[in-house]
Amino acid sequence: MSISPLMPVYPRCGVRPVRGENCHLIDEDGTRYLDFASGIAVNLLGHSHPALIGAIQRQAETLMHVSNLYGSPQGEKLAQSLVDATFADTVFFTNSGAEAVECAIKTARAYHQHADGDANRTELITFTNAFHGRTMATISASNQEKMHKGFQPLLPGFVYCEFDDLEAAKALIGPKTAGFLVEPIQGEGGIRPASQEFMSGLRALCDEHDLMLVLDEVQCGVARTGKMYAHEHYGIEPDVMASAKGIGGGFPLGACLATEKAARGMGFGTHGSTYGGNPLAMAAGQAVMDTVANDEFLAEVTAKGERLRARLEQFIGNYPDLFDCVRGMGLMLGIRMKVESRPFFVHLRDNHKLLTVAAGDQTLRVLPPLVADEAEFDEFLDKLSAGAASYDPAVAA
Ligand SMILES: *Cc1c(COP(=O)(O)O)cnc(C)c1O
């Protein structure tokens, strides 16, 4: 037997964390890493936030799981918090981002397959270099062939369009179009924010043709950009939206949010999940919402994002051969490199004990916990500067 007990789908590195302390991870042999990856935009309160730990402990002692056959005071409360803080009128809870996107796809299809709809409208237009998850529907929604290989046949009903190209999106609308599925800021694709024109344009096309604007805010949502959800920067609202990652602060939780109109097809018996919305997950989500969903917290993320970005922009000027530009919003930042970003990310991790995330389009993702502050930014810039000074792309490659 040569296959590992853990199915070998991840090329795991030598860092083996066993403990977290605010913005740091400590591994098996005691090495401390500065964590500006945050479990890929998940641990927005860091690794040891007392409100989150307390909420999970109290709920675990009281009631961990019950079936969705019963009433859910905890779920009603968290759904109300999300409805109060967003465009949405209704929420379905999931355990992951891909499941939240799955629910969003089903909601958009069911809108058109409702008695008042046009059942021919089954296709979602999706965008190049998108990432929506690893289930069959969500890999089918992405044009990235590396995720398709070995898993044919894909699910029908997705049409790929160039990201941020409004004219191309408009040209693809036909009698089968159900709507658009798009990340306002592509995460895995390389921290690429859509343009204002593109987002307003998609909203206008949806209004004109009775289509569903479905946003995937799994990575950019939940205060990460200084707004509760990134679409607020564009002054538009979706019909349906998938949220996850940061929403549980590290506890597995996702949500599909929709307007009343968009959710018209999602009646009794149309969808479900055994774990989705269980009391333990609701307690974690509530602790996150109670901490981040207020103007003071969001203003702080915005201010911190501006400070970190300014420092990064000044820093990259010292290495014009290595770095191209800084992009993103709030504390969802990316450094676009002039060389491959993955070997540099490995160099920072192994030689400077700094955790970031590589992404598409030669981009290094900088995703600090939202509770990181000047002390952590200082440490980050120190490690990054040392990393850049000691980096030789020719040797690393
Ligand atoms: C991470 C991610 C997903 C998938 O979330 P999982 O929890 O891994 O299923 C979907 N969409 C986007 C934009 C993501 O970043």
Instruction: Establish whether residue 218 lines the binding site of ligand 1, counting it when its CB lies within 6 angstroms of any ligand atom.
Output: yes
Please compute, for residue 340, the number of CA atoms within 13 A of its CA located in the half-sphere on the CB side.
10
CB 284 within 8 A of CB 308: no
Residues 183, 250 within the same domain: yes
Is residue 397 very low, low, confident or very high in pLDDT (cuts 50, 70, 90)?
Answer: low
Q: Are residues 362 and 275 in the same domain?
A: no
> What average pLDDT does range 4-15 have in this prediction?
95
Mean pLDDT (the chain, rounded): 97
Q: CATH code at 342?
A: 3.90.1150.10
> Which pLDDT tens digit goes with each residue over 304-338?
999 999 999 999 999 999 999 999 999 999 999 99
Does residue 396 register a pLDDT over 70? yes
Same domain, 23 and 172: no
In Å, what is the CA distance from 52 to each residue of 67, 98, 111?
Answer: 23, 23, 36
Does the residue 193 lie in any domain?
yes
Distance between CA atoms of residues 243 and 255, nearest Å: 5
- Asked if 190 and 98 sit in the same domain, the reply is yes
Q: Would you give the DSSP letter of residue 337?
A: E
Q: What span, in angstroms and rounded, lies between the C-alpha atoms of 254 and 259?
A: 17
Q: What tens digit of pLDDT does each residue of 73-91 get? A: 999 999 999 999 999 999 9
Element (H, E) at 213: strand 212-216
Binding positions for pyridoxal 5'-phosphate: 97-98, 131, 216-219, 274
Do 235 and 107 belong together in one domain?
yes
How far does residue 244's CA lie from ligand 1's centre (Å)?
Answer: 7
In angstroms, what is the span from residue 219 Cα to ligand 1's centroid? Answer: 7
Is 386 part of a structural domain of the chain?
Answer: yes
Q: Where are the alpha helices (DSSP H) in the chain?
A: 38-41, 50-62, 73-85, 97-113, 136-140, 145-148, 166-172, 196-209, 279-292, 295-316, 341-352, 374-389, 393-396
236/346 same-domain check = no
* Burial readout 154-165 (b: 16 or more C-beta within 10 A, e: otherwise): eeebbbbbebbb
Residues 17-33 have a mean pLDDT of 98
4 in a structural domain: no
Tally the domains of the chain. Answer: 2
Summarised one tens digit per residue, pLDDT across range 173-198 is 999 999 999 999 999 999 999 999 99
**Domain final position from 270, 292, 314:** 292
In a domain, 3, yes or no: no
pLDDT digits (tens, 9 = 90+) for 125-140: 999 999 999 999 999 9
Say yes or no: CB of residue 329 within 6 Å of ligand 1.
Answer: no
Q: Is the CB of 278 under 6 A from ligand 1?
A: no
In a domain, 299, yes or no: yes
**What is the distance in A from the centroid of ligand 1 to the CA of 99?**
9
**Does residue 41 lie in a domain region?**
yes
What's residue 272's pLDDT? 98
Whichever domain contains 97, its CATH number is 3.40.640.10
Tell me, yes or no, whether 244 and 128 share the same domain: yes
Query: Measured from the CB, is residue 238 less than 6 Å from ligand 1?
Result: no
Substitution site in 219, 229, 251 for ligand 1 pocket (most atoms within 8 Å of beta carbon): 219
Residue 65 — very low, low, confident or very high, per pLDDT cuts 50/70/90? very high
The whole domain housing 75 covers: 50-292
User: Could you tell me if residue 382 is inside a domain?
Assistant: yes
